[in-house]
A and B are shown apart, each in its own frame.
Chain A
């Protein structure tokens, strides 16, 4: 009896453990519309535009889900009114983009900032959400030069004033990076001088594509005045990526030839195993043959009589 009690307790533990696993993915029942959250940002780009970006997500008890195909309305704040710029729908990643030229027709506030807005109207299932972001248009130009066999990256930053003139950006911090598969690989941090120019030594060990092409991105992030500013340029200073190295066979996915030790080991093992299988099959064939010969040797006798 004691044993049975122990077993029952153990099963109870197992059942609870199983239940705990199975409930994880259930969504909580909602009575009203789900709450939506918007992340809105503006980025001045090197082609004299401002890119507006709105990410819309829906809050759940277990986290957040990105909202796909949601119509987002983008607008800019004028002196007393709000001027609608246009609409865009969120993509599979829940992001809606809208690009506007960085011209001077937009009204600026007392500190020369242009205020952009993004709004999602909501519906029966999701609540409305909006975001606001202000910036002064700016531009980053990225160039490269070589001096005494040392390579440098140079960043020049300008700002677009209300009078339409471009003047050098004040001292701000800039990150220089290379886009990689999952994130940006940081190469250097540059602090611009009062003329809006900064340089950094270019590393020699960055892997590019098969021709050594690299895209270099300079970025000002979350600046109080300029918001996000991005500029980019390409060069061929990357190390050439060699996909195939025939003289060094290894375990990499792209190598066509396996290491010799592996081929020898596999052949020995397969020969050993399948050799024995063949031996066993040959024995079965010989058993079959000898059975037939025996049956033919005793005419008129069936297998039963031989066996008995």
Chain B
């Protein structure tokens, strides 16, 4: 009975694996063009050096590190959401959990690349491993991120195993022979025997818990890179949890956006309904409230303490960056509260637009954490040229940023061409109604 249901599901999702529409080909071509532009910018940076970026002696970090934090953030969000929903057996998660898992792994592949773009001497990169000192937060980050990438790959693979076996055994699937062979190899001889099911469940449960734990650890470590310094705006005890909340918050936004895009492109209206958007939207609302609370707490204590350099930083934030500040910390917090909080605003379109605003706001939030602090150092900068005192990203940095986003979308698109974007093997158990999140 269950296999019949699975086969029906596979029949429904087979076209997305078998064919690519003309529009899909144009989309892939556009993304490849974006990636190539990024590679050209990279070539420019490698041949001409970091002088082609806006980073200088004073502001040594720019949009690259912002992109790194952003991509790592959405990856942890994917891990936390998929891990948590799995552990709590939330039935409604089934159509969307694959997307969360893809977000996790793909953004984990792209995020660390931005760190390498910040490094002036890439030939010295092996020294991080060869001469790494565990007293250094950078070493913590290398250890934590590599552990996270490995763990998330295992978790994704465990989650894919059932679907891979279904794809291997589904004779009506019209894909090239090599793709069939790939399914066969990756399916690892899984046939769904009680023993295999038991082993898979144990492993998945454990890895779900592990990806949650490691996501919290890794994002805290990332926050500590900033907070263990004595820089104004960075030296904060709440930076760890603040970063974790911000990460999950931005990741929820990306998940909603992915849900909306794939729902439209692959006609998943039957599987991904308003209920899913509202449920993830409620998670986003709760995170918005936490994020707003942490942000307020962070700036209130700094403002009230009136420490000289903190005061200078707050002055810069409200003077030079006030539009960024208002957008990221007011609009980015209040909009989800309004749209998801009031029933009459809850529509798929509104929640999706809110998610886009949240994604932009959270990117800006990371920019506000990194750049203004570096523009207000303890040692005064005198007689320095303007570009050294104030950071402004160049076309090379913006192109590489766009290249990263294009790579993310390209990997996501390609992944959806090999694996169904929803968990086919699990969808047979009929979905949503009781136990859903409501306000």
Chain A residues within 8 Å of B, Cβ to Cβ: 3-4, 6-7, 10-11, 13-14, 16-17, 20-25, 60, 62-66, 182, 250-253, 255-256, 258-259, 262-263, 266, 269-270, 273-274, 276-277, 279-281, 283-284, 286-292, 294-295, 303-304, 306-308
With contact pairs A20-B323, A269-B217, A288-B188 given, residues A258 and B203 touching in the complex (Cβ less than 8 Å): no
In the complex, which of the residues B151, B191, B385 contacts A291, with contact meaning CB atoms closer than 8 Å? B191
Q: How far is the CA of A303 from the CA of B213 in the complex (A)?
A: 37
Cβ contact within 8 Å between B171 and A304: yes
Cβ contact within 8 Å between B3 and A262: no
Main secondary structure of the interface of B (DSSP, over half): helix
Q: How far is the CA of A308 from the CA of B166 in the complex (A)?
A: 11
Cβ contact within 8 Å between B210 and A276: yes
Cβ contact within 8 Å between A276 and B206: yes
| Closest Cβ neighbor of B204 among chain A residues | A280
User: Which one of B135, B158, B184 has the greatest number of beta carbons of chain A within 10 Å?
Assistant: B135
Cβ contact within 8 Å between A10 and B189: no
Cβ contact within 8 Å between B214 and A273: yes
- Residues in A neighbouring B392, C-beta threshold 8 A: 21-25
User: Which one of B54, B134, B195 has the greatest number of beta carbons of chain A within 10 Å?
Assistant: B134
- Residues in B neighbouring A63, C-beta threshold 8 A: 385-386, 389
- Among B88-96, B231-239, B324-332, B407-415, the stretch that binds chain A is B324-332
Over the window 199-213 of chain B, the binary record of Cβ atoms lying under 8 Å from chain A Cβ atoms (1 yes, 0 no) is: 110110011001001
Q: How far is the CA of A62 from the CA of B387 in the complex (A)?
A: 9
Give min CB distance, B193 to chain A, whole Å.
Answer: 6
| Closest Cβ neighbor of A55 among chain B residues | B383
Cβ contact within 8 Å between B196 and A13: no
Q: How far is the CA of A97 from the CA of B246 in the complex (A)?
A: 53
Main secondary structure of the interface of A (DSSP, over half): helix
Q: How far is the CA of A60 from the CA of B392 in the complex (A)?
A: 17
Q: How far is the CA of A303 from the CA of B192 in the complex (A)?
A: 11
Give min CB distance, A287 to chain B, whole Å.
Answer: 5
- Residues in B neighbouring A11, C-beta threshold 8 A: 357
Cβ contact within 8 Å between A66 and B385: yes
With contact pairs A13-B327, A16-B323, A287-B190 given, residues A273 and B210 touching in the complex (Cβ less than 8 Å): yes
With contact pairs A10-B335, A17-B324 given, residues A308 and B200 touching in the complex (Cβ less than 8 Å): no
- Residues in A neighbouring B46, C-beta threshold 8 A: none
Cβ contact within 8 Å between B191 and A306: yes
- Residues in B neighbouring A308, C-beta threshold 8 A: 3, 169
- Residues in A neighbouring B353, C-beta threshold 8 A: 3-4, 7
- Residues in A neighbouring B217, C-beta threshold 8 A: 269
